Structure 1
Amino acid sequence: MFVRIVKMSFHEENIPAFLENFELNKNKIRNAPGNRLLELYQDKTNKCIFFTYSYWDTEEDLENYRKSELFNTVWAFTKKLFNDKPEAWSVDKLVSIV
């Protein structure tokens, strides 16, 4: 399993539209083949910055999602709302203590 972390920064007036679109699509994204977890975070000091964490079984599962109509639709909508270039990381989860 690996984790995909995406940092996104929005114009303040676009945050409600982003959150509404995320709410409409979060279950579809979470139910994409190979997706095990989807989380959304908001920065405590800069409310315009958000992070998504998604857990995937394989890199191929993430790539299949990124080639899907769902991703293309969600990303086309979301990227219009940015005030800065998004950043993304794919990381391997080494330890989790719950």
Structure 2
Amino acid sequence: MFVRIVKMGFHEDKVDAFLDNFEEVKQNIRNFPGNRFLELYRDKNDPTIFFTYSYWETEADLENYRKSELFIEVWAFTKQLFRQKAEAWSVDKLVSLQ
């Protein structure tokens, strides 16, 4: 399993559109084959910066999602709201304490 982290910066007047759309699609993303976890975070100092954290069983699962109609539609909508280019990282989780 690995973690995908995506940082997105939105135009201030587009934040509500992003949040509304995320509310509509979050369960579909979370229920996509291979997805095990999904969270959305908002920066404490800049309310136009958001991060998604998603856990995937395999890299192939993430790639299948990225090639899916769901992702294509979500990304087409989301990227038009950006004020800066999104950044993304795929990382292996080494330690988790609860």
Shorter-chain TM-score range: over 0.9
Question: Runs of 4+ in structure 1 displaced over 6 angstroms?
Answer: none
In the alignment, which residue of structure 2 is the partner of 1:86?
86
Amino acid in the other structure paired with 2:41 = Y
Equivalent-residue separation in structure 1 for 2:20 and 2:12 (angstroms): 14
Equivalent-residue separation in structure 2 for 1:97 and 1:9 (angstroms): 29
In the alignment, which residue of structure 1 is the partner of 2:2?
2
Equivalent-residue separation in structure 2 for 1:35 and 1:94 (angstroms): 18
Shift of 1:11: 0.3
In the alignment, which residue of structure 2 is the partner of 1:34?
34
Unaligned runs of 5+ in 1: none
TM-score (norm 1): 1.00
The one-character-per-residue Cα deviations of 1:7-66 (angstroms, maximum 9, x if unpaired) are: 000001000000000000000000000000000000000001000000000000000000
Amino acid in the other structure paired with 1:67 = K
Aligned pairs for 1:1-98 within 5 A: 1-98=1-98
How many residues are aligned here?
98
Amino acid in the other structure paired with 2:89 = W
Quote the sequence identity (%). Answer: 72
Give the superposed CA RMSD: 0.2
